[in-house]
């Protein structure tokens, strides 16, 4: 049994592998859906004669605290809007990759989920104002749709691995060594009254 999220990696179109570490304030949620195809029955003569699986359609919705506009643009194919610092949708969705590592409870191992080839998009952003008692954080939510990968012979793969060996496992798929500390979050060490920092709202 696995618990929580240890870390996540994304592979950009130019082949860089980025760890969503503290410099991105980490990952809060990873929702996988469609990992296996829905089961359908063939019914005849008032009996279920056969059950078959429809094609799998794996998707992952990854919630990062502060992925930032630059990384999101690279993953989703966005381009600069004129000479501004804003982005608009590009003409194509690039091939990217994503992996999520979770620790196994009571065992010296991790569990790795990987979509070596996928397309990514940001489909919605939910914004709300602060109240007098609570600050409202705006997280970055990226959705990945798996594409068939010849290297693994499928859409996605997962399994138990040795603790801390995720980067080595990913290199078996041709991924480069992960880059760390590439995000733009900086700890505020100016005083003890540090305030929470909301992520960019694109």
148-169 average pLDDT score: 94
Tell me which of 202 and 113 has the higher pLDDT. Answer: 113
- Model pLDDT, residue 119: 97
Token pair, residue 41, equals 């029955």
Instruction: Identify the band that residue 155 occupies on the pLDDT scale cut at 50, 70 and 90.
Output: very high
| pLDDT value for 134 | 87
* pLDDT at 48 (0 to 100): 95
Mean pLDDT of 26-34: 92
Please name which of 128, 140, 121 lies closest in space to residue 75, comparing C-alpha atoms. 121
pLDDT at 196 over 50: no
The residue with greater pLDDT, 3 or 98, is: 98
Alpha-carbon gap, residue 78 to 95, rounded angstroms: 13
Q: What is the mean pLDDT of residues 42-48?
A: 94
Q: Give the pLDDT band of residue 1 (cuts 50, 70, 90).
A: low
Structural tokens at position 69: 């506009």
With 50 as the cut, is the pLDDT of residue 192 above it? no
pLDDT at 3 over 80: no
Rounded to whole angstroms, the Cα distance separating 67 from 23 reads: 9
Give the model's pLDDT for residue 200. Answer: 45
Is 114:98 a contact under the CB 8 Å cutoff?
Answer: yes
Confidence of residue 127 (pLDDT cuts 50, 70, 90): confident
What is the average pLDDT value for the chain, to the nearest integer? 88
User: What's the pLDDT tens digit per position in 57-116?
Assistant: 999 999 998 898 999 999 999 999 999 989 999 999 999 999 999 999 878 899 999 999
């Amino acid at each position: 049994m696995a618990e929580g999220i240890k870390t996540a990696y994304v592979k950009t179109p130019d082949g860089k592998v980025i760890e969503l570490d503290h410099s991105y304030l980490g990952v809060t949620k990873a929702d996988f859906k469609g990992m296996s195809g829905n089961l359908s029955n063939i019914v005849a003569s008032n009996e279920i004669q056969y059950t078959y699986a429809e094609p799998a359609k794996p998707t992952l919705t990854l919630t990062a605290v502060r992925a930032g506009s630059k990384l999101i643009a690279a993953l989703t194919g966005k381009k600069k809007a004129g000479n501004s610092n804003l982005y608009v949708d590009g003409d194509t969705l690039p091939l990217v990759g994503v992996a999520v590592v979770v620790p196994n409870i009571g065992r010296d191992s991790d569990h790795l989920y990987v979509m070596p080839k996928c397309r990514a998009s940001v489909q919605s952003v939910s914004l709300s104002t602060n109240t007098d008692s609570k600050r409202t954080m705006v997280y970055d939510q990226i959705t990945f749709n798996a594409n068939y990968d010849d290297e693994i012979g499928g859409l996605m793969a997962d399994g138990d691995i040795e603790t801390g060996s995720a980067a080595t496992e990913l290199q078996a798929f041709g991924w480069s060594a992960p880059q760390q500390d590439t995000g733009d979050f900086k700890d505020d060490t100016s005083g003890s009254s540090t305030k929470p920092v909301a992520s960019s709202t694109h």
